[in-house]
Chain A
Amino acid sequence: MFVLETKDLTYTYGAGTPFQKTAVDHVSFGIEKGEFLGIIGHTGSGKSTLIQTLNGLLRPTSGSVLLKGKDIWAEPKKIRSVRFQVGMVFQYPEHQLFEETVLKDICFGPGNMGLGTEESEARARQAAKFVGLDEDLLNQSPFELSGGQKRRAAIAGVIAMDPDVLILDEPTAGLDPQGRDRLLEQISQYHKVRGSTVVLVSHSMEDIARYADRVLVMNKGKAVMLDTTERVFARGRELEGMGLRVPQITSILLYLQEKGYPVHPVLTVDEAVEELRPLLKKGRVRHGS
């Protein structure tokens, strides 16, 4: 059974006005429990709108979102409980920090769930550990932290609610290369240890290729592909037509394949080495062509 599922989900901005624009157009897909799903799409393809309907921040114009088989808008008054189960980390989440100390800020979510101070703090400390935030930073003001630390603190604030599904919108935007690798590694670790479902929206095809089990491709408000990461990136030409690209190494292998070499379009450099080594041995890579 899908943990989160959409059925004919449509969201229209400014319905009934001359400026109306359908951002998400009859999208139906399911997220399996425990999977790591990547969502890619060109700017303005409807990714952000889509994920905001998943935790009930936006109410679909038509169609429905099912959480564990139940329509989340069946009881609009209980929508807050949906938001605890589907945790959402927005772009630049450090802009949401407001409390006096980092610990208190991470406790904001659990506190809203109605948990007591002790339990909230226990969860906050655990969440901080998951994102690699030092224990002694917890009593500082969030505004004294560095950019990367702020980002971690904000993500911890969502993880502390212990959601069944964690959605992250461009969590590495604006981080340095090392910082982004570490953060993604920790998110992946969290995914493995907790066994929770993770949805990652990203512009970096390399990141998606490395971590996602399956990929959903959005284009002009429609879900155009949903398949395993290998199979989605094997359709590189189609992706390019939508203003997306495939990981650099994959595009090289796709090119070789088009030229008639017997290679598979794999996703990482390590795999590519394995693919290319036999070719070099046989001396079949010619110059030119």
Chain B
Amino acid sequence: MVRDITLGQYIPGKSMIHRMDPRVKIALTFVFIIFLFVASNFQGIALMIALMLAVLALSGVPFGQYFRSLKAIIVIVLFTAVLNLFYGSGTVVWRCPFFPVMQITDGGIGNAVFISIRIISLILFSSVLTFTTSPTQLTDALERIMKPLKVLHVKVHEISMMMTIALRFVPTLLEETDKIMSAQKARGADLESGGLMQRIRALVPILIPLFVSSFRRAYDLAMAMECRCYHGGEGRTRMKQLHMTRLDTAAIVCTAVFCAGVLFCVFRFPAALR
């Protein structure tokens, strides 16, 4: 059923991470990702992993959820890991008996492990952001972060309003699609059999009503917004002001300490990738 598709992964909660300012969360997520690539040796990446585990634990989101988001990328991780096995220098561990060019070295194994850790951490860090921040908070924060672009005449408020509306209407439209599909099936529409062309043609009785109702909804929404004197972002105040709290300061300080540690490791120990 169409309704089974879940969009937006927000998991409501009251943890420290949930309560952080979304702007800080977005900024720190970027810093994390950058430092994942700055950390060039196992000592540095160990620091990042420690930080990540702490953040995962603090987020109060069940580990099963993180596991599920990893499942989606397991193929990519395996693919890059296998490729990396064969690229690397050092002592040869195994050589393919048919193609002597293909060889696994201890350096290659190191690379594969290292790259896998990087990709997995990358996904986990961004999962923390999407799991603990509601879509509205996210677009709100993005609007504030992009505010400086106003100088370049980018319509920041309008863009973020469009994003909010789009996200809001995804479930509504899915439900609508479901209803229309049922109604046409009740009139004997055959959606499940036939060749490609036939199936595409079978979509017409669903797409047309869907378009019509989307336009109707858009008109209604525009009318409702105008009735409440919506006129774009100019001079608009917000009900929920974003505030940085001591929690955010603590998070920033913590991240800074870890990043300093990573930088120290980078200069103190040799790089892992060979």
Contact = CB atoms under 8 A, between A and B. Distances in A.
10 contacts: A57-B186, A84-B188, A87-B186, A88-B186, A95-B180, A96-B183, A96-B205, A96-B209, A108-B189, A161-B188
Contacts of A84: 188
B15 interface: no
Interface string B195-225: 0000000001100110011000000000000
B189 A112 contact: yes
A57 B185 contact: yes
Interface of A: 52, 55, 57, 80, 83-84, 87-88, 90, 93, 95-98, 108-109, 112-113, 143, 157-158, 161
Contacts of A109: 187-188
Contact of A95 (B183, B187, B190, B204): B183
B65 interface: no
Contacts of A90: 179, 182-183, 186
A108 B183 CA distance: 12
Given A80-B188, A98-B209, A112-B188, 11 more contacts: A57-B186, A83-B185, A88-B186, A95-B176, A95-B212, A96-B184, A97-B209, A108-B187, A108-B188, A161-B187, A161-B188
Contacts of A98: 204-205, 208-209, 212
Contacts of A97: 209
Contact of B182 (A52, A108, A158): A52
Given A95-B213, A98-B204, A80 B184 contact: no
A84 B188 CA distance: 7
Nearest to A88: B186
A84 B179 CA distance: 18
Contacts of B204: 98
Contacts of A108: 184, 187-189, 205
B205 A80 contact: no
Interface-central residue, B182, B186, B189, B208, by most chain A CB under 10 Å: B186
A112 B204 CA distance: 14
A143 B212 CA distance: 9
Given A52-B182, A90-B182, A96-B180, A157 B205 contact: no
A91 to B, nearest CB: 8
Top-9 shortest CB links A-B: A112-B188, A98-B208, A96-B183, A88-B186, A109-B187, A98-B205, A90-B183, A98-B209, A57-B182
A83 B191 CA distance: 14
A95 B190 CA distance: 19
Contacts of B189: 108, 112
Nearest to B182: A57
A259 B86 CA distance: 93
B261 to A, nearest CB: 40
A113 B188 CA distance: 7
* Interface size classification for chain B: 10 to 19
A95 B209 contact: yes
Contacts of A96: 180, 183-184, 187, 205, 209
B176 to A, nearest CB: 8
Nearest to A154: B183
B186 A95 contact: no
A84 B189 CA distance: 11
A55 B186 contact: yes
B37 to A, nearest CB: 38
Contacts of B208: 98
B182 A80 contact: no
A157 B187 contact: yes
B190 A112 contact: yes
Nearest to A97: B209
A95 B176 CA distance: 9
A80 B190 contact: yes
B58 to A, nearest CB: 24
A225 to B, nearest CB: 27
Contacts of B212: 95, 98, 143
A98 B176 CA distance: 15
Contacts of B185: 57, 83
Interface string B85-111: 000000000000000000000000000
A119 B249 CA distance: 76
Interface-central residue, B183, B189, B213, by most chain A CB under 10 Å: B183
Contacts of B187: 83, 96, 108-109, 112, 157-158, 161
A98 B212 CA distance: 9
Contacts of A87: 186
Contacts of B213: 95
A88 B183 CA distance: 8
Given A90-B179, A95-B179, A96-B180, A158 B209 contact: no
A108 B186 CA distance: 11
Contacts of A157: 187
Contacts of A57: 182, 185-186
Contacts of A158: 186-187
B9 to A, nearest CB: 16
A93 B183 contact: yes
A90 B185 CA distance: 11
A161 B185 CA distance: 13
